[in-house]
């Protein structure tokens, strides 16, 4: 049982996430282990069925989502994959494109992703881009300096 992911599998993961929306069924079949544990600053999901449901809901109103992936760093157990996401959503940032930077930690089993954790600033993605709440968050951040 391999504990890492091949570079080919990481490239497949990157390619699938660069479609709006990504083909969730193909992602679940070709990239994720059925017992995957997914975490990001907003949710935790266990298993491909729960992760697929979450991703479908997350992409419902997305107009455009593109990732610029950096060079993966890996060891025997993990792959760290930096990214910069350009997102366009009609209910965020007044429908304009905005950027979020983050990194994905991926761990594999049998060349499938069994653990996926995304690290990013949830405020930068969501809270700052909601009209009234965004102004409040920006005001708070300006006072924290």
Write down the pTM of the prediction. Answer: 0.83
Contact (CB, 8 A) for 104 and 117? yes
Tens-place pLDDT, residues 20-67: 889 999 999 999 999 999 999 989 999 999 999 999 998 988 999 999
- Is the confidence at residue 132, as pLDDT, over 60? no
Residue whose C-alpha is closest to residue 79's, from 12, 24, 124, 26: 12
The percent of residues in the chain predicted with pLDDT above 70, rounded, is 81
What is the per-residue DSSP string for 4-24? S--HHHHHHHHHHHTSSS--H
Ordered by where they begin, the domains of the chain are: 7-120 (3.10.450.50)
Q: Residue 15: what pLDDT? A: 93
């Amino acid at each position: 049982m391999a504990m890492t992911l091949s570079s080919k599998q990481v490239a497949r993961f990157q390619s699938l996430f660069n479609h709006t929306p990504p083909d969730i069924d193909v992602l679940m079949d070709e990239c994720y282990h059925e017992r995957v544990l997914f975490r990001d600053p907003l949710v935790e999901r266990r298993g491909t069925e729960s992760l697929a449901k979450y991703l479908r809901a997350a992409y419902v109103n997305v107009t455009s989502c593109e990732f610029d992936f950096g060079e993966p760093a890996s060891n025997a157990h993990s792959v760290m994959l930096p990214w910069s996401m350009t997102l366009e959503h009609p209910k965020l940032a007044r429908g304009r494109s905005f950027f979020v930077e983050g990194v994905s930690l991926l761990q594999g089993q049998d060349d499938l992703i069994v653990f996926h954790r995304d690290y990013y600033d949830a405020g930068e993605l969501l809270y700052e881009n909601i009209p009234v709440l965004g102004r409040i968050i920006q005001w708070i951040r300006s006072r924290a300096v």
